[in-house]
Amino acid sequence: MARALINVPAKARKGDVIEIKTLISHVMESGFRRTQTGEAIPRDIVTAFACTYNGEEIFAAQLYPAISANPFITFHTVATESGTFEFKWTGDNGFAATETAKIVVE
Amino acid sequence: MKEQPSATRRQMLAAAGGLGLVLIVRPAQAQLQANPAALNAAIRQVTGGARLNKGRVHLDVPPLSENGNTVALGVSVDSPMTPEDHVKAIHVFSEKNPQPNIVSVRLGPRAGKAGITTRMRLADTQTITAVAELSDGSFWTETGHVIITLGACLEDVI
């Protein structure tokens, strides 16, 4: 299981725009590199990322080989209600990782 | 015995010549060509041929980066982010990477603010293009230039 780091504020006021930071450990092998003997190294990247807030999708990203190793993505959302964020990464070779974070909205 | 030093000198000169050749050849390899056809095709794929307006998008890239493997990328769009008027998607493109797409994100009115950051790989010094798709169907664009000292994708794997 790939290690993921999530930064979501623990508390927020209703209607606040909050910033969410995410990072997942992954090599993001671009598929354009070669070994010294000239063999192409097959692509192995995270291709998609999505974030849901109490079951509703609020953000989704499609990643390409031009994203650095250990993809780091930040985005914003409006704190509407207390609940959970679910983060999901999917990629080549059946890569899948999920992570959750809770928020209290007052 | 007399042959020995001269042979060594010959070898030294040959090696020095070879070194010079390597030094001349390397920058020529590193200089990648821009591929406007692939870039325009990739942009057309998201816009469907719609007109690109300049402005509203802010592209935050460093003017110079020593390492092309991790270059900070920030894109924000001036938008109230209401259900009637919001940013639907942001796409970022490169002109010299082997593949023009860098990242594509989908947003909605629940984002509150159209601003994302990530880290990208750049093969060479080049211009980055960001395209934002708004809910009214219009497309807005901004470009930024990044100088790369050491590009990604070129290093050998041992």
User: Are the C-beta atoms of residues B116 and B75 closer than 8 Å to each other?
Assistant: yes
CB contact under 8 A, A60 and B106: yes
* Domains of chain A listed by start with CATH number: 4-105 (2.60.40.10)
The amino acid present at B122, given as its one-letter code, is L
Measuring CA to CA, which residue among A56, A64, A59 is closest to residue A22? A59
In this model, does residue A103 exceed pLDDT 90?
yes
**Minimal Cα distance from B122: which residue of A?**
A66
What is the pLDDT at residue B22? 46
In this model, does residue A61 exceed pLDDT 50?
yes
User: Are the C-beta atoms of residues B126 and B146 closer than 8 Å to each other?
Assistant: yes
Tokens of A2: 């790939």
Measuring CA to CA, which residue among B57, B131, B156, B71 is closest to residue A66? B71
In this model, does residue B24 exceed pLDDT 50?
no
What is the pLDDT at residue B55? 87
**Minimal Cα distance from B102: which residue of A?**
A66
Contact with chain A for residue B132, Cβ under 8 A: no
Which tens digit of pLDDT belongs to each residue from A26-47? 999 988 888 888 888 999 999 9
Q: What is the ipTM of this complex?
A: 0.90
**Minimal Cα distance from B117: which residue of A?**
A74
Question: What is the rounded distance in angstroms from the CA atom of residue B128 to the CA atom of residue B65?
Answer: 13
Domain spans, chain B: 36-150
B99 contacts in chain A (CB < 8 Å): 32, 64-66
**How far away is chain A from the Cα of B20, in angstroms, using its nearest Cα?**
22
Fold of B36-150: Immunoglobulin-like (2.60.40)
